[in-house]
Structures are given as C-alpha cells and as structure tokens.
Structure 1
Amino acid sequence: MTTHTNPAIAATSFKGGRAKKRRSVEKKSNPAWGIAAWAVGLLFVAPVLFMLLTSFHSEVDAATNPPSVFAPLTLDGYRAFFGADGGRTPWPPLINSLTASVVSTILVLILSIPAAYALSIKPIKKWTDVLFFFLSTKFLPIVAGLLPLFLFAKNTGLLDNINLLVLLYTSMNLPIAVWMMRSFLAEVPVEMMEAAQIDGAGLIRLLRSVVAPVALPGIAATALICFIFSWNELLLARTLTSIVAGTSPVFLTGFATSQGLFLAQVCAAAMVISLPVLAAGFAAQDKLVQGLSLGAVK
C-alpha cells in the first residue's frame, strides 16, 4: 500500500523541525561563554589601552607607582617623539621601515606564488621534500647567523644599507609565505583552471585571471603577516644598521637612555609606530579572516 504525503504538510513540518532545532540550540547556549569571551578580549586589549593612556600623561605622572590613571592629559610625549623640542625626528626611521616592509613583502609574494603554484596545483616530484627544505631554513635561530651576516655586510659595503634589510626580510619571510600560499592555492578549483587552459590561457594569464582572484584572501593574509614580521623585526636592524638605514623599532630603543626610561615618550612612540600595522590589519581584516579560514573543516 502506497502512502502519499502532501508536499505542503511536509514543508510545514520541515520548517517546524528547523525552528524547534534552532530554539533548542538557543536554549543550550550559555551566556557565561559570551561573558568569558569578553573578559578574555578585554584582558588582551587592556595593556594596549593602558599604553595609550600613559602616552597622554606627563613623565612624572607616568612614572608613579601605582600608575596614576586619572592624571592630567598632555601631548608632551607625542611632541617629544616628533622632535618638537629639538630632538631626533622619527620620519627617516619610519620611511625606512615602510620601505623595507613593503618592498620585501612584494618580493615575497612575487616569489612565493609561483613556487606555491608548482607545489600545489602543478605538483612537482618529491614536492614534500621541497616544502620541508623551505621549513628547514627556519630551524636556525637568527642570532646564530648574526656574525656571518655582519661580516658579509661589512665586506660588501652593505652595512647601514636599507637594501640589505630588504634582502634579509625577503629571505626570512619567503619560507612562511610558500607554506601559507601552498595551502591557499590548493583550495582553487581545478575545473576553473582546466576551463581557462582549454580557452587558451597561458601560465601568466592563468595566474592573473583565475588563480589570483580566487586566492585573493590567502594572498592578503600572507602579505599582512609578512608585513607585520618585517615591520616588527629588531635584531637584524639593530645589528646591521645605525643612522642611515635605522628602522622604527631601532628608533624606539633610543628612548632608553643613561638618564632612565622615558615611559610617556616610549608609549607615545609605540602607539605611533603601531599605527601602520593596525591600519593594515583593519583594512584587510575581512580578507584575513577569509584567508586564514580557507581549508577549514565546515
């Protein structure tokens, strides 16, 4: 005996089942998890907010223990950072940091995207060995290579030269970028590339018109991470530069003098130096989330 079900009744029961399931999920949700998430978020943001507040205090108020939260606000720390009182100007170090970070990031993307394409979409033989070779270059701590790098820069006349930092930052971030881009490009549908190849698209056209738009969130995530690593790097810049090619982190260490640590000025300088990274993060936050979630289990 065959039983026929009214489609309208079936649809209504299906919607009712989904509504009941949604209500059961809402009932099971615990508001304590939301409170805990806010608490953890505030815990991470609190030091940044305290640094921002301290940057608007005078040196006397910033040095009090415990900190004087409700002290009068002033712009003296920012005036000192920008050299309003006749001190050093921060613009050359900021320009050096921007140049080294942007140029090295562009070079990393130019080199890593074709390498990741060869390791994911058009895999070569023993591609896993190639990936582990890239990873093995990160095993050696940077401090272990400082002396050879210093001797190389001295003998080649590249000490205190921004071009050397660009080269070092590119080589430093390239293994990470290849690993990241390989996982991102592996998510590009093969059918799209095969259709483009049938239409006569070459390798360059394929990368520019098919692969790049699909993998744009991953490219943005890789670029942002490489930019942050280059912008925050201190050890190489401190050792291999001095006056001409000094970067903003090196400039920031100059506030620790024999007279003591000028806390308000350091906080003001740290806030200004952090702004490019924060601006880049906010500008690419949607692409960053999409890129870091590529390949995630849904």
Structure 2
Amino acid sequence: MSTSTPETRTATTTSPGAGQTVAKRKRKHRKFDPWGLVAWVVGLMFFFPVFWMVLTAFKQEVDAYTTTPKFFFKPTLEGFRAVFDQGVGTGLLNSLFATSVSTILVLALGVPAAFALSLRPVRKTQDALFFFMSTKMLPIVAAIIPLYVIVSNIGLLDNIWALIVLYTSMNLPIAVWMMRSFFLEVPGELLEAASLDGASLWRAVREVILPLVSPGIAATALICVIFAWNEFFFAVNLTAVQAQTMPVFLVGFIAGEGLYWAKLCAAATMAALPVVLAGWVAQNKLVRGLSFGAIK
C-alpha cells in the first residue's frame, strides 16, 4: 500500500504544460497596449488645466503671471483670503440654494412625468415628449428680453427665486427624457405583481420602482446640479448684487487693468469644489445610472 504526501499530489496535478499556460497568460496580460497609453495621455491632457488652476490658486500674483511657468514656489493662501474679502460667501450660498432647490423641484416634477410617459403612458405620449424638448429649441438669448420684462414686472429682479424658477424650467425637459429612459428598463410585470399582492400604486412605486431606478435618479440629479451651478446667462442678466451666483462672482475678477490670475484661480477652485464633491459622493450611483440598461 503506497501513501502520497500533499507535496507529491501537488506535483502530480501541476504539469509542466499548465505552468507554461499560466506563464503565457501573464505575458499576454503584460503586453503593451498602445490604446491604453493614448487614453492616459488624453486623460492627462484634459486634467492638466484643472491641475494648473488649483496650483495657481496657491501662488502669489508675481509667481502666477510669469512668462516661464513656475512649478516650484512657496505656497500661500493670499488668493483665497482675497476671495473671501470680496464676499464670495454671498455668491456661494446663492448658488447652493438655487441649485439645490431647483434640483429638488425638477425631480419632484420630472419623476412622476417620466413614470406616466413610460410605465403608465398617456394618450399622445410622443406629442408630450416633443413638447418637452421643444422648450429647449428656443435660444436663451432670444427669450431674455421678454423674461427680463416679466421678472421686472413681478418684482423679482435680483431675486434668487427668479433663478430657481428658470433653472427648474431649464432642466425639467432633460430630466423627463433621462428618467423616462430609466423607467423603460423596468419590467411592467413588477407593477402587476405588486398590485396582485394588494399594494396601491403609490406604494408599488415607492417600494418597488423607485429603488430600482435610484441610480438613474442620482445621475439625473447630478446632471441638473451641474447645469444649474454653471448657468451664467440668466444670472448675469437678472441679478446684480444680492442674488449673484458664483459664475457672476467670477466675472468680477476680470478687470481691464491688472491681471489677478492667482485670485481668479482661487475663486474658480472654490466654485468647482462643490460640484466635484457632489460627483465624488454620488460616483457609484452615477456610474450605475449612466450604464442603466446597457447590459441585458
């Protein structure tokens, strides 16, 4: 009777051919991919202006405005102090308030509309969808004069609520179209099963449908946040001091005399930071939402 140790059995099962196969696989994985290098180069090219903006925000003005770019310098917070001295808090709070409230209103109005146009379609659904998108076909510059007259007559010039209404109407068609595509990926049989179990329509939507499309809601909300946060045309024409937003505040650093690159980069860094943080917090749901229904 022969006995075999674990080392013997391992040596028996692991043949030289299997070792060669593993080595080939490792060499295959280590194979140089030129397209991967191109992707890295393109990504770094897109990221470099943002990196340079943040770097310049910590420079002094004499180091920021030089013919030869300076990569090594003594960091300073003078640019950020100057931004706070010029009242960045007002623009930052106005942008946060207008963006958050308008996004909440867009979701409150857009999610039921998208649900009705997908899982519970109404008559002439295509006409309703075309009406939503037709509101985006008119150039903003063509509508600014009547909008200015209306806002002036109702006493909402330099008022943050005028921007909230406009941002909501601006983002609502996009939100409806995005959310409708997410709702269309949900099987209608789920609602039928929930109704057979005795659940009401509102309960079925709240406990069955909305958890499934929550990544799509997060992606839609982030898109609306970006569009509302970066909007400039309405804000610069309908606000002055009390309701100015961050994009309008940034324009104040563009002066006819003197160059203030460090201060401008510090203000731009502060303006970009909330959106970057929002995208970082919602990155998992954002990736799931943007790829929702891509793989069957």
- TM-score w.r.t. structure 2 length? 0.88
Going from structure 1 to structure 2, the CA distance change for 1:182 and 1:29 (only over 3 Å counts) comes to farther
Measure the CA separation in 2 of the matches of 1:24 and 1:138.
52
> Which residue of structure 2 aligns with residue 66 of structure 1?
68
- Cα deviations by residue, 1:173-229 (Å, 9 ceiling, x for unpaired): 000000000000111122221111112222321221111100000000000000110
- Counting matched residue pairs gives 276
Kindly report structure 1 stretches of 4+ aligned residues shifted beyond 6 Å: none
- TM-superposed deviation, 1:93: 1.1
1:223 is matched with 221
Following the alignment from structure 1 to structure 2, what is the Cα–Cα distance between the partners of residues 272 and 66? 26
Match of 1:204 in 2: 202
Partner of 2:167: 169
Task: Provide the rounded CA distance (Å) in 1 between the counterparts of 2:222 and 2:116.
Answer: 23
C-alpha separation in 1, matches of 2:278 and 2:134 = 29
Deviations 1:255-284, CA, capped at 9 Å, x for gaps: 112323311000001101111100000000
In structure 1, how many angstroms separate the alpha carbons of the residues matched to 2:116 and 2:30?
47
The aligned residue for residue 146 of structure 1 is 144
Residue 27 of structure 1: how far off its partner (Å): 6.2
| C-alpha displacement of 1:142 | 0.9
SS in 1 for 2:178: helix
Q: How does 1:256-275 map to 2 (within 5 A)?
A: 256-275=254-273
What is the deviation of 1:149?
0.8
Residue type of the alignment partner of 1:40: V
Cα–Cα, structure 1 residues 27 and 91, in superposed 2: closer, same or farther, change >3 Å? Answer: closer
Question: 2 CA distance for matches of 1:148 and 1:61?
Answer: 46
**Structure 2: how far apart are the matches of 1:98 and 1:76?**
24
1:1-298 correspondence runs (5 A): 23=25, 26=28, 30-83=32-85, 88-297=86-295
Q: Distance in 1 between matches of 2:45 and 2:198?
A: 55
Larger radius of gyration: 2
Distance (Å, rounded) in 1 between the aligned partners of 2:185 and 2:129: 17
Offset, 1:72? 2.6
Return closer, same or farther for 1:29/1:287 CA change in 2, 3 Å cut-off. farther
Counterpart residue type for residue 68 of structure 1: K
Distance 1:54 1:28, change over 3 A: closer
Q: 1:247 to 1:30 in 2, by over 3 A?
A: same
| Cα distance in 2, alignment partners of residues 225 and 25 from structure 1 | 42
CA distance in 1, matches of 2:93, 2:38: 41
Secondary structure in structure 2 of the residue aligned to 1:261: coil
Shift of 1:126: 2.1
Give the CA deviation at 1:24. Answer: 11
What is the rounded CA distance, in whole Å, between the counterparts of 1:194 and 1:112 in structure 2?
A: 23
Cα distance in structure 2, aligned partners of 1:122 and 1:59: 59
Structure 1 residue 108: Cα displacement: 0.3
Look up the equivalent residue of 2:51 and give its one-letter code: L
SS at match of 1:73: coil
SS in 2 for 1:260: coil
Which ranges in structure 1 are unaligned for 5 or more consecutive residues?
1-15
Instruction: Give, in angstroms, the shift of residue 141 of structure 1.
Output: 1.2
2: CA distance, partners of 1:53 / 1:279 = 18
Helix, strand or coil at the partner of 2:113: helix
Q: What stretches of structure 2 of length at least 5 have no aligned partner?
A: 1-17
Q: Which segment is superposed worse, 217-226 or 192-201?
A: 192-201
Distance in 1 (alpha carbons) for counterparts of 2:110 and 2:33: 44
